[in-house]
Amino acid sequence: MRHEELWNLRDAQVIVHKQQHNGAWKYPGGSIGIRSRENYDQIETFRNLGYLVEMYGFDRRSPAITNAAEFFFRHQTENGDIRGILGNQYAPYYTAAIAELLSKAGYAKDARMDRIFGWLGSIRQDDGGWAIPLRTQKKNVAIISTRSRPIEPDRTRPFSHMVTGVVLRAYAAHPTFRKSREAKEAGALLLSHFFRQDNYADRKSPEFWTRFSFPFWFTDLVSAMDSLTILGFPKDDAHMNKAIQWFISHQSPSGLWNLHTVRNKKMESDLWISLSICRILKRLYL
């Protein structure tokens, strides 16, 4: 089936028809005391962009994608990041997650993407990973409601594997930046934290390594292994092998993986996660 045929499927068209004239999708609910309506809409636009790109193969040939891309680029700052989901605060993980989808949709050669990766490279922690800057300064995310100036990171603090895993997805999705030294260094850091608790409060428990979603959102074992196999990390690495053995031991007799999913249960996310694991194993063994 060609991509254009997938685009015309009923479920895909339901999503497309809900897109607003400014390229965004409207977030249901939310409190403007926390963030603006447009900033809430960034979250919903990221969500729906993920459905269209990852599940239905949409790319920039579709007006739905070009309109969504322009919506996000209108929120790109002079520094290069996409600002708003955390109010005025830096959000390297959301900037990267959006960049991942835009790369997959055909925007890898867009100069505005170079600015995103330039910013991501500039805001790394000293250890080579990424964290939420306000967290490195021991601030609560409630600070986004104050509309205060961006809090600069304390780069001496350790990386967050939750944030680093999301940023690494952007690097893996880009045909040029996946070959960078930054990607290799961050990949090694991420591997070193498999099945461990994060260094920060957000999704801190080790159990989040095995709480899955598709399209990918935060960092879990499948999303991490997807990036790492694209980046070329080998199966004989001890941490990679531990993840492979986890996949093998949790495969059901049917051949699928019926894992703990935290999003999109109605969209058969367990089947998509099973497909993602098959793609991971194919890269490693074929």
Q: How many residues does the chain have?
A: 286
Contact call for residues 19 and 58 (beta carbons, < 8 A): no
Q: Among all chains, which residue has been given the structure tokens 């900037």?
A: 95
pLDDT at site 142: 87
What integer is the mean pLDDT of 125-132? 98
The answer to whether residue 7 sits within a structural domain is no
For residue 141, pLDDT over 90 is answered with no
40: amino acid identity, one letter: Y
pLDDT at site 270: 87
d(CA 163, CA 132): 7
What integer is the mean pLDDT of 178-202? 97
The answer to whether residue 118 sits within a structural domain is yes
Q: Say what the pTM is.
A: 0.96
The answer to whether residue 87 sits within a structural domain is yes
Phi-psi region of 234 (alpha: psi -120 to 50; beta: other; left: phi over 0): beta
For residue 134, pLDDT over 80 is answered with yes
- Per DSSP, the residues of 140-196 read -GGGGGGTPPPPPP-TTSPP-HHHHHHHHHHHHHSTTGGGSHHHHHHHHHHHHTTTS
Q: Measured between alpha carbons, how far is residue 104 from residues 32, 80, 113, 169 in Å?
A: 32, 19, 12, 11
pLDDT at site 223: 98
The answer to whether residue 49 sits within a structural domain is no
d(CA 187, CA 168): 7
d(CA 261, CA 103): 25
- Angle made by CA atoms 155, 161, 162, in degrees to the nearest 5: 110
Contact call for residues 244 and 235 (beta carbons, < 8 A): yes
- What is the tally of structural domains in the chain? 1
The answer to whether residue 3 sits within a structural domain is no
Task: Return mean pLDDT, the chain.
Answer: 95
Q: Measured between alpha carbons, how far is residue 168 from residues 19, 50, 241 in Å?
A: 28, 16, 19
The answer to whether residue 175 sits within a structural domain is yes
Q: Write out pLDDT tens, residues 197-246.
A: 999 999 999 999 999 999 999 999 999 999 999 999 999 999 999 999 99
Contact call for residues 250 and 259 (beta carbons, < 8 A): yes
What integer is the mean pLDDT of 80-90? 96
pLDDT at site 146: 86
The answer to whether residue 35 sits within a structural domain is no
pLDDT at site 265: 67
Phi, psi of 87 (to 5 degrees): 65, -130
In this prediction, residue 258 has a pLDDT band, given cuts at 50, 70 and 90, of very high
CB atoms closer than 10 angstroms to residue 110: 15
What integer is the mean pLDDT of 89-94? 97
Query: Which residues constitute the domain of residue 264?
Result: 76-285
Structure tokens at 19: 């897109």
For residue 34, pLDDT over 90 is answered with no
The answer to whether residue 211 sits within a structural domain is yes
Phi, psi of 59 (to 5 degrees): -145, -170
- Classify residue 235 by burial, with Cβ atoms within 10 Å: 0-12, 13-18, 19+: middle
